[in-house]
Structure 1
Amino acid sequence: MTTDADVAYETKTVRAVRGMESRTIKKWEADGWKLVAQTHGKVQTELTFRRPKPKSRQLLWIIGGGAFALILATIIAFGVLSERNAETAVSAAPVSSESTSEPSAEPSPEPDEVTPSAEPQPEPLVLTPANSPELAALLVLTDYCAPEVAAFAAAHSGQTISFPGYIGAMAPHDGATTRYDFLIGAGDFSESSAPGPAFQFRDVNATNDLQWVGAVPDSIGVGTNLSVTAQVDRYEQSSCLFLLEPVGTAVR
């Protein structure tokens, strides 16, 4: 009876492409080799086989002669070529982008939104007696408390109007020494007639608040004719005063 200690072994290391290990093992086991170890790499697996050494290699050569050696060499060469062909096929095969590509760490940026260019907005129309029949009719009213005055103020609140006018009266605002309430009439100053609404600049000083256009006059007072450009504020029903906010004032 013999033990492993009495038997001499020969070993062989073979490389197989990953996934084809069982095929390679089966081939070498058919030749009498026994798998004793395998080491996995990224592309290949290293397989280690062993088998008992023949008792007399000289006897094998005598029995088999050169033909046996040629057959054995052919088998080994065929195995090596098969493994190389398999390895070449794996390296040449296209790698799926779905399985190997890592997902992007950041989402691709959204395309910039194209903001349509805004069309230039027309300048707000300044109402004058020439371009607004409604304003022209307002300026020749004989009753400054007429319902047309309230209607015009409500319809054009915040709009700018421009017309020839004059200072019909001025008084300190609530007893102030530098702030005044100016009563503005339509057209030229006259002691006998006062058509149009009772326009008023309320609580303004005679310099900055009137928004002078051109040279600032040395003095103003009742009877001074003006070119008035102002923003419509509101109409006071109780006093029939039509309040305006000065935008531009010029002496004419």
Structure 2
Amino acid sequence: MADEIRYEYKTVQTVRGTDGLVISKMQKDGWEFVEQSQGTLRSTLTFRRPKKPLPWPLIGAAATGLVILTVVIGTASALSDGDEKKDAAAKPAAAASEKPSATPTPTAAEPSAVEMITSENNSEFAALLKTADTCDDANADFATKYEGQTIAFNGSIVDMTPHGDYHTRYDFLLGPGDKGPNTTVGPAFKYEDVNVVELRLAGKEVPATVGVGDKFRFVAEVGDFNAVQCLLHLDPLSTETR
């Protein structure tokens, strides 16, 4: 049985009047003229020529390469499946542990909020409020241990002076108790360079102004201790009338 001839096809568009020249050139190159489609201005010419058979050595090499590639892929797949099965057999416990637990794992309790230091819950602060010497080492020890924490105490304004050249900013000297400028016990607490607004006045009757001798419930953050001036610095958080 004779082998069936396979053709490759090619179409060429030409301007009317040049069809003959194009057909002649294509035939010289081995193309056979098949048909012509006539348009208004252009013609479409169709040509064909037998496909050149692929040399047998190349066909054999391609087939051999395909067989080798198939074998390699099949071997790799088999090895991969084997490794996965080995891993699954070697790590059953790990796979089980990755499943979400039906019962939530207990977690550590959240730390409780830091308690405000008062004379009722802190013996060191209670003793400090009764010390007779504002330069006592207890002041420095307390400031070092509790700097940044919050204290609350009943006290009064011992002194109040403008800060530098300001007329609305002040340095306040505070003491525990109700004796104002006659206070003789406890640390020399100091608010430095603050205005009345920064005192954060609160209470049933909030005063428009404050002065020496006024009594409040002071809530403040502990600062550092100035050992030269014997002053324990505080930062105001709230000042409640009482």
Using the size of structure 2 for normalisation, the TM-score is 0.56
Q: Hey, what's the Cα distance between the residues in 2 that align with 1:37 and 1:196?
A: 110
How much has 1:238 moved relative to structure 2? 1.2
The question of whether the paired residues in 1 share the 8 Å contact of 2:223 and 2:234 is answered with yes
Could you tell me which of 166, 189, 199 is aligned with 2:179?
Answer: 189
Could you tell me which of 176, 191, 201 is aligned with 1:212?
Answer: 201
Distance 1:132 1:202, change over 3 A: same
How much has 1:234 moved relative to structure 2? 1.0
Distance 1:178 1:37, change over 3 A: closer
Q: Does 1:151 align with 2:110?
A: no
Query: Partner amino acid for 1:141?
Result: T
Query: Partner amino acid for 2:229?
Result: S
Larger Rg: 1
Q: Hey, what's the Cα distance between the residues in 1 that align with 2:119 and 2:228?
A: 27
How much has 1:191 moved relative to structure 2? 5.9
Q: Hey, what's the Cα distance between the residues in 2 that align with 1:180 and 1:173?
A: 5
Could you tell me which of 187, 191, 205 is aligned with 1:201?
Answer: 191
The question of whether the paired residues in 1 share the 8 Å contact of 2:180 and 2:214 is answered with no
Over 3 Å off, 4+ runs = 36-45, 94-101, 116-119, 190-193, 213-216
Count of aligned pairs between the two proteins: 159
Query: Partner amino acid for 2:192?
Result: R
How much has 1:222 moved relative to structure 2? 0.9
- 1:223 — aligned with what? 213
Percent same amino acid at aligned positions? 35
Distance 1:192 1:246, change over 3 A: closer
Q: Does 1:123 align with 2:143?
A: no
Query: Partner amino acid for 1:239?
Result: Q
- 2:88 — aligned with what? none
Q: Hey, what's the Cα distance between the residues in 2 that align with 1:117 and 1:177?
A: 55
Distance 1:148 1:236, change over 3 A: same
The worse-fitting range, judged by mean Cα deviation, of 148-157 and 125-134 is 148-157
CA RMSD of aligned residues (A): 3.6
User: What secondary structure sits across from 1:175 in the alignment?
Assistant: coil
User: What secondary structure sits across from 2:74 in the alignment?
Assistant: coil
Query: Partner amino acid for 2:132?
Result: T
Map Cα deviations across residues 190-237 of structure 1 (whole Å, 9 max, x no partner). Answer: 565431001010100011x11233464212111111111111111111
Query: Partner amino acid for 1:40?
Result: G
The question of whether the paired residues in 2 share the 8 Å contact of 1:189 and 1:224 is answered with no
User: What secondary structure sits across from 1:95 in the alignment?
Assistant: helix
How much has 1:117 moved relative to structure 2? 7.2
Map Cα deviations across residues 83-115 of structure 1 (whole Å, 9 max, x no partner). Answer: xxxxxxxx9xx93443899xxxxxxxxx9xxxx
Using the size of structure 1 for normalisation, the TM-score is 0.54
The worse-fitting range, judged by mean Cα deviation, of 177-186 and 233-242 is 233-242
The question of whether the paired residues in 1 share the 8 Å contact of 2:175 and 2:183 is answered with no
Distance 1:154 1:40, change over 3 A: same
How much has 1:177 moved relative to structure 2? 0.3
- Structure 1 residue runs of 5 or longer lacking an equivalent are 1-9, 12-35, 46-90, 102-110
- 1:71 — aligned with what? none
Query: Partner amino acid for 1:212?
Result: L
Distance 1:100 1:40, change over 3 A: farther
User: What secondary structure sits across from 2:173 in the alignment?
Assistant: strand
- Structure 2 residue runs of 5 or longer lacking an equivalent are 3-54, 81-97, 99-105
Map Cα deviations across residues 3-60 of structure 1 (whole Å, 9 max, x no partner). Answer: xxxxxxx99xxxxxxxxxxxxxxxxxxxxxxxx9564397699xxxxxxxxxxxxxxx
Distance 1:191 1:245, change over 3 A: closer
